[in-house]
A and B are shown apart, each in its own frame.
Chain A
Amino acid sequence: ELKVEQNPLFLSMQEGKNYTIYCNYSTTSDRLYWYRQDPGKSLESLFVLLSNGAVKQEGRLMASLDTKARLSTLHITAAVHDLSATYFCAENNAGNNRKLIWGLGTSLAVNP
């Protein structure tokens, strides 16, 4: 079964702390996407990772891709309240690249 597993699914952290969200996937795809969703809103693209070793950074968020380990990470540096949201990873389905396979999302709450 093709699946994408994110962990943790829920994360409560203090402002100023660092943390990493993990995204494990099951196929041989080398395309991985990260999205952010604020409560009651739509999904917004954060990062597109297209090759092994790819690293992208935007502000306090940094995403990386290790295709050999089938693992992507989203690292949060010095968290602030504005980062509170749900973060999804999705991989391109290597067997049918028209479709994305989604993780369940990580609900992040950053507390003062």
Chain B
Amino acid sequence: DAGITQSPRHKVTETGTPVTLRCHQTENHRYMYWYRQDPGHGLRLIHYSYGVKDTDKGEVSDGYSVSRSKTEDFLLTLESATSSQTSVYFCAIRGGAGNTEAFFGQGTRLTVV
């Protein structure tokens, strides 16, 4: 199994509070991704990183920010959590672009009340 760990695995937070989710990998992969998964929407890309300090927006980036100060860690921050951000969040890693598959973390279930 790819060495990828998400923390926390479950979190309940109040509307308006900031929340940070962590993705940690031991594979030294260049690419890291944050997705959210909601019923009826499949996987939607929030942000991704293609190297240390190199990040780009995905299709649903509003209300989220990311940081990657080390190869192994990719942080996702909800600046001021809203109920619409209640979701399951998955981190994924890829060794390269193009012809390599993505490997997923176990997911974080976030509930904003």
Distance from B1 Cβ to chain A, minimum over Cβ atoms (Å): 9
Q: B82 near A: Cβ within 8 Å?
A: no
Q: B99 near A: Cβ within 8 Å?
A: yes
Q: A68 near B: Cβ within 8 Å?
A: no
Bound CA span A45–B56, Å: 24
Bound CA span A92–B100, Å: 9
**Complex contacts, A102 vs chain B, CB 8 Å:** 42-43
Q: A99 near B: Cβ within 8 Å?
A: yes
Number of chain B residues whose Cβ lies closer than 8 Å to a Cβ of chain A? 22
Distance from B23 Cβ to chain A, minimum over Cβ atoms (Å): 12
Q: A43 near B: Cβ within 8 Å?
A: yes
8 Å CB contact of B43 from A45, A88, A97, A98: A88
Distance from B57 Cβ to chain A, minimum over Cβ atoms (Å): 11
Number of chain A residues whose Cβ lies closer than 8 Å to a Cβ of chain B? 20
Bound CA span A99–B97, Å: 8
**Complex contacts, A100 vs chain B, CB 8 Å:** 102
Interface residues of B in 7-63 (CB under 8 A from A): 31, 40-43, 45, 48, 50, 56, 58
Given A98-B31, A99-B45, A105-B42, CB of A31 within 8 Å of CB of B104: no
Distance from A59 Cβ to chain B, minimum over Cβ atoms (Å): 18
Q: Could you tell me if B42 and A45 are in contact, using CB atoms closer than 8 angstroms?
A: no
Q: Could you tell me if B40 and A45 are in contact, using CB atoms closer than 8 angstroms?
A: no
8 Å CB contact of A31 from B56, B58, B92, B99: B99
Proximity bits, A22-44, B CB within 8 Å = 1, else 0: 00000000010100000001111
Q: A48 near B: Cβ within 8 Å?
A: yes
Proximity bits, B75-113, A CB within 8 Å = 1, else 0: 000000000000000101000011101111111000000
Residues on A facing B (Cβ under 8 Å): 31, 33, 41-45, 48, 50, 88, 90, 92, 97-100, 102-105
Q: List 24 A-B contacts (CB under 8 A).
A: A31-B98, A33-B102, A41-B107, A42-B90, A42-B104, A42-B105, A42-B106, A42-B107, A43-B43, A43-B92, A45-B101, A45-B102, A45-B103, A50-B99, A88-B42, A92-B99, A97-B98, A99-B45, A99-B58, A100-B102, A102-B42, A102-B43, A103-B42, A104-B40
